[in-house]
Structure 1
Amino acid sequence: MRPQQVLLLGLILLVPVLAFLFLKSFGTNRYALPTYLPERVDSTLVAGKWQRDTVFHQVGEFRLRTQAGREVTGTELRNKGLYVASFFSPDCGLPCERQNAQLVRVQEKFRQEPRVRLASLSVNPTPDSVAVLARYAEGSGAIAGKWFFLAGDKTVVDRLLTREFGLRPVPGAQPTQVVLLIDRDGYVRGRYDGTSERDMNRLITEIDVLLYTYDHP
């Protein structure tokens, strides 16, 4: 057998071995979502050794009015799977319009997925907030029971923004266009620029990842 033939035969036999090693090394890798808002680090004794474990913040319970005039709780929003939280002011203009256009894409992508809900919180509540929310929801094409527009007392809203969602609004500035992904346990699993198509594409992908982890624990 010629040297060239020996070399070719060796390469042919080597390919399956390399493929096996590649799959063995990398085939079990998974795309894991991060968890945001670390609160503290606890130490746990495991098999006689102390291990450090980060404890993350869970969004606390809240109760807000919807565009339909009824109240909805944080538990209701996430009890089926997850929700996408966003923040707006009815008079914020173009930034909120751009954000809502992206949120419409998310709603349409998961229209038939009952485990995905959207919640847009008004950071500037008014006495006629329910009527304002209803007009805003209608203009955004929100599906009833799928996309909730929410409002509450100023103190409640401020607490949610700062303490529960970890945002730091600038006084006098327009509401932040941060969008958050909240899982079924109340943890923040994603943070995005609501006006960025690229970021919102990432949100759609990460919702799929989170749903996959629910289906394949």
Structure 2
Amino acid sequence: MRPKHVLLLGLMLLVPVLAFVFLYTFGTNRYALPTFLPDHVDSTLVEGKWRRDTVFHQLGDFTLSSQSGRLVSQKDLSNGVYVANFFFATCPGACPRMNSQMARVQEKFRNEPRVKLVSYTVDPEHDSVAVLGRYAEQYGAIAGKWFFLTGDKTALYRLATEEFKLPAPSGAAPGIVHSQNLYLVDRDKRVRGIYDGMKPKDVDRLMTEINVLLYTYDHNQ
């Protein structure tokens, strides 16, 4: 075989290898998801040197009633990821649009048991189990897939302001907390994405990043 042909063959074999290395190295970093809600900065000793690392907030446990009357806690969401939002049933504009986007997420992952949806009411005095049952039906919420949760007002207020770090409403007494955000929570109960629930393109990105997390879990056992 002529040297020219050997060189050409070598280049043909080298290109796929280089492409694989590029995708493996840069592709992995390209789709690594950030973590949100930093708690504090901690220092750890690594090989004789102190390294400062950010410690991110891990969502605390809760026990609330779903639209079926069943009690739901973080343990019921521990086998995968979930998408969370805050709403109230009498909200006239933003909440229906936001929950319509949540319904899109449900349909996308209808057959993926590791993906669940959680909608916390911020008006539990009005949003009883019966009210949430009717509300959930409007959006075709699948039992065991999409939970609409209500319960103690103080517990829900703490969940919104201390766990998800939503700004407290003005005034001395706790009031209704407003947010149009959707939150992607991983299996370690850390927030890995925050999205505008009023923007379909943002929700498209949310669905892509859910797949990224699931892929990570499947390939990094």
TM-score normalised by the shorter chain: which range applies?
A: 0.7 to 0.9
Deviation at 1:95, TM superposition (A): 1.1
What is the distance in 1 between the residues matched to 2:149 and 2:211? 25
Q: Is the 8 A contact 2:122 2:176 kept in 1?
A: no
**Match for residue 216 of structure 2?**
213
**Is 2:46 the counterpart of 1:43?**
no
Q: Secondary structure at the match of 2:102?
A: helix
Write out aligned runs for 1:1-217 (5 A).
20-21=17-18, 23-28=20-25, 29-30=27-28, 31-76=31-76, 78-126=77-125, 129-171=128-170, 175-217=178-220
Gaps of 5+ in 1: 1-5
Q: Secondary structure at the match of 1:67?
A: coil
Deviation at 1:51, TM superposition (A): 1.4
Larger Rg: 1
What is the distance in 2 between the residues matched to 1:188 and 1:178? 12
How does the TM-score come out when normalised to structure 2?
Answer: 0.86
Q: Is the 8 A contact 1:35 1:56 kept in 2?
A: yes
Gaps of 5+ in 2: none
Give the number of aligned pairs: 210
How does the TM-score come out when normalised to structure 1?
Answer: 0.88
> Percentage identity across aligned positions?
56
Deviation at 1:74, TM superposition (A): 1.6
Deviation at 1:24, TM superposition (A): 2.9
What is the distance in 2 between the residues matched to 1:184 and 1:145? 17
Q: Is the 8 A contact 1:92 1:174 kept in 2?
A: no
Deviation at 1:101, TM superposition (A): 1.2
Which letter does structure 2 place at the counterpart of 1:139?
Answer: Q
Which letter does structure 2 place at the counterpart of 1:197?
Answer: P
Q: Secondary structure at the match of 2:124?
A: coil
Question: Residues 102-146 of structure 1: CA distance to partner in whole angstroms, max 9, x if unpaired?
Answer: 111100111111111000010011266111111110111100110
